[in-house]
Amino acid sequence: MKVELRDPKIVMKLSKLGSFHQSKLSFLRSFLKEFKDWNYKRDLFELNELGFGIAVYSFKKSNRVYSLICFANQLNENERSDRVIATKWDAAFTLYDGVPTKHDIERLRNEVPKQEVGRLSYKELTLSRANKSVRVFNHVVDSLSKGKQPDISLLSSVGYLYRTTAVYGSGKFGLADRFRIKDREEICGPFRLEMMLVYLVRQFTFDQVNHVAKNKNPKKAVSLDLEICKSLGIGNSTGLGMAPFIVNHPTLLNNWVLARETVLKKIREIQNVEKKDGDLFTKYLKKSIKNITSWNTDSIYQQNKIKFLLKDVNNFIIFLEKNFNFSSEFAFNKIYLWLEKNSGDECIEYIVSMMMEPYDQIVNPLINKMSSEEDKYFNIPTNRTVLELKDIIENKYKEILKIDFTKNENNQNFWFISKNKEEPRLADRFEEKGSDLEQPLAIARDIKKLYEALSVAKNSSKIDKFLLNNNHLRHVVRRAFIVEKFPYSEIQDNTISKSIIPIDMLRLKLSFFGALKFDPRSDKWLRICMFQGAPLPENLKNYDEGWVYNSLN
């Protein structure tokens, strides 16, 4: 039986993309797999009794070394902020390409804590900063220094000791450009070195909390239980900075979603599901329930999504147990069709992720296809005709063409870059100033304008002639030709409408990172948790692939 890939017009709706969950394709899981046989080492740990100072951690294999350099700083209570406007953080980090010399560390000590206003070099690969969850960190220090383990329920409700507020790479602030590392044999996909930084930062947070507790009460202090460490991740606060990324990298977005859709299609096409695979799917599904029940958020929007997710997953489990037999033909296809009929998007996408768990042989080859050589598709094929471009738009943007942009609600917002932080922002066009400096992120509106311009042009005219008088639409002409080749490269929604929920765009990206427990703090930023339940670096050589579902929380 041949199953078609799901229709991009459905998959690429923001409400659908905003329901994606982590999976075996997620970058942090791929990172652990790809670096599991690297040698991990804590090379330097020079913190004072309060936990301030410098630490260096490394991963090494053959002649290649990646070193995380950590700078832990004293911060006044009133200086701590997760907002992007912050200028100081509890700790700042960079991933260095190789083994840093003392001179490098001195140079970086002056630059890394400054983050966006510091200057990095091509020897630094990624950059980040993080703030303590003060309540949790202090509680853990207090408990350990008294010789006891901390309150699991408190830890469980937060999930981490520190949260990062940005992770930068790919040439930002002078960091190494992607071209310098993309062809290295160990770099098998996107964001691997960002994942490495976050993973090593997690270990730093455990070492720091143990160190502070020990110094507080050297005679009585105990170390944080390793199982508790494993159940903690690293938090992350993410704002709108991430949203334009998925618009600005269409072929990359396509390759992520296409990998996911291809895996789903292949799993649905399995005629006879082996018993062990059905059992593994069911086992992980049941274990994963605690990832839903421990998913805390104050966001009513997300609370509702979680409520329906839990209800739908429980209904699905009842269906599995009472009415389903994995020995029937095309079992996963039947499951998928049942879900489409009986569940919401949150649950459908949750189960799609779970379906991947037994199928390394399907997932692994696709993991290596999730990068993109974007420059290859940059030139506009100007020898194509107006008619061909019109056909592409009619075919690929059918729903977009129905939007009436003369209505204010469809043209409500505009994307801009803030002068203060050089970060993307979204504002109401009719309330705020600045729409004359709008960024080219209103793709739906501009595609419709392009279509209208094409409709009055001669069909046989070549695109080079069309552009002579229509270069204001050049950015979307380029996109339409990209979308022709890459079906999942475009969000099939209006990113400037009144009803847009920008965090859906963040969630899409974060799900591919492997984030858990999306916690929207508004419609424009959210908190997440990464690596919760993941093996510790010392145990990486031999770890359980199902760690995502083994957390204590």
Partner 1 sequence: MKSLSEIDTVSKRASRASGFEWGIAEEVGKNMRILEMLGISGIKNLNHYYKIRSKKNFEKIKLITKENQRSQLEYCPITAGVNFLDQVRSLENLNEIKFQNLAYPILFLPFIGRASEVLGKKILLKIDNRKFLLNYNTSIYTNNLDDGIITIGNNVVITFLDNKDSFEENEWRELYKLSENTFVEENESLKQSGAGAGLTDND
122 binds partner 1 (CB under 8 A): yes
Closest distance of CB 291 from partner 1, Å: 35
352 binds partner 1 (CB under 8 A): no
The answer to whether the CB of 44 falls within 8 A of the CB of 56 is: yes
Using CB under 8 A as the binding criterion, the count of chain residues that bind partner 1 stands at 32
> Degrees (nearest 5) of the Cα angle 306, 320, 265?
80
Given the rule CB under 8 A, which of 83-91, 167-175, 208-216, 452-460 is the region that contacts partner 1?
Answer: 167-175
> How do 91-97 and 526-530 pair as beta strands?
unpaired
Concatenated DSSP letters of 353-407: HHHTTT-HHHHHHHHTT----GGGG-S--TTSBHHHHHHHHHHH-TTGGG--TTS
Q: Which of 64/472 has CB closer to partner 1?
A: 472
Dihedral sign of CA atoms 364, 370, 376, 381 in order: positive
Side chain identity at residue 1, one-letter code: M
Given the rule CB under 8 A, which of 154-162, 189-197, 364-372, 470-478 is the region that contacts partner 1?
Answer: 470-478
385 binds partner 1 (CB under 8 A): no
Tokens of 150: 């901390």
9 binds partner 1 (CB under 8 A): no
Task: Measure Cα distances from 53 to 45, 86, 209, 372 in Å.
Answer: 8, 21, 13, 39
Q: Which of 139/479 has CB closer to partner 1?
A: 479
The answer to whether the CB of 494 falls within 8 A of the CB of 15 is: no
Q: Which of 260, 292, 276, 253 is nearest to 356 (CA)?
A: 260
440 binds partner 1 (CB under 8 A): yes
106 binds partner 1 (CB under 8 A): no
What end-to-end distance do the CA atoms of the chain give, in Å?
40
Closest distance of CB 173 from partner 1, Å: 8
Q: Which of 10/437 has CB closer to partner 1?
A: 437
Given the rule CB under 8 A, which of 20-28, 138-146, 392-400, 463-471 is the region that contacts partner 1?
Answer: 463-471
485 binds partner 1 (CB under 8 A): no
> How do 160-168 and 526-530 pair as beta strands?
unpaired
> Degrees (nearest 5) of the Cα angle 152, 25, 483?
135
Q: Three-state secondary structure along 66-115?
A: EEEEEEECCCCHHHCCCCCCCCCCCEEEEEEECCCCHHHHHHHHHHHHHH
**List 56, 240, 257, 380, residue binding partner 1 (CB under 8 A):** 380
Q: Which of 344, 23, 354, 61 is nearest to 196 (CA)?
A: 61
216 binds partner 1 (CB under 8 A): no
471 binds partner 1 (CB under 8 A): yes
472 binds partner 1 (CB under 8 A): yes
**Buried b / exposed e across 505-525, counting CB within 10 Å, b at 16+?**
bbbbbbbbbbbbbbbbbeebb
Q: Which of 216/465 has CB closer to partner 1?
A: 465
Given the rule CB under 8 A, which of 39-47, 171-179, 253-261, 276-284 is the region that contacts partner 1?
Answer: 171-179
Given the rule CB under 8 A, which of 33-41, 371-379, 483-491, 498-506 is the region that contacts partner 1?
Answer: 371-379
**List 133, 156, 170, 291, residue binding partner 1 (CB under 8 A):** 170
Closest distance of CB 442 from partner 1, Å: 11
How remote is the C-alpha of 160 from its chain's centroid? 17
> How do 53-61 and 39-47 pair as beta strands?
antiparallel
367 binds partner 1 (CB under 8 A): no
Q: Which of 350/377 has CB closer to partner 1?
A: 377
Tokens of 456: 């009055």
| Residue written as token pair 């209006």 | 494
383 binds partner 1 (CB under 8 A): yes
* Residues 411-430 contacting partner 1, CB under 8 A: 417
**List 178, 216, 286, 449, residue binding partner 1 (CB under 8 A):** 178
Given the rule CB under 8 A, which of 45-53, 256-264, 364-372, 467-475 is the region that contacts partner 1?
Answer: 467-475
Q: Which of 480, 484, 536 is nearest to 224 (CA)?
A: 536
452 binds partner 1 (CB under 8 A): no
Given the rule CB under 8 A, which of 20-28, 128-136, 283-291, 459-467 is the region that contacts partner 1?
Answer: 459-467
Q: Which of 136/476 has CB closer to partner 1?
A: 476
467 binds partner 1 (CB under 8 A): yes
Given the rule CB under 8 A, which of 37-45, 284-292, 373-381, 390-398 is the region that contacts partner 1?
Answer: 373-381
**List 2, 103, 373, 378, residue binding partner 1 (CB under 8 A):** 378
DSSP conformational letter for 173: G
Given the rule CB under 8 A, which of 139-147, 372-380, 408-416, 453-461 is the region that contacts partner 1?
Answer: 372-380
Q: Which of 121/149 has CB closer to partner 1?
A: 121
Residues in the site for partner 1, rule: CB under 8 A?
121-122, 170-179, 375, 378-380, 382-383, 417, 440, 463-464, 467-468, 471-478
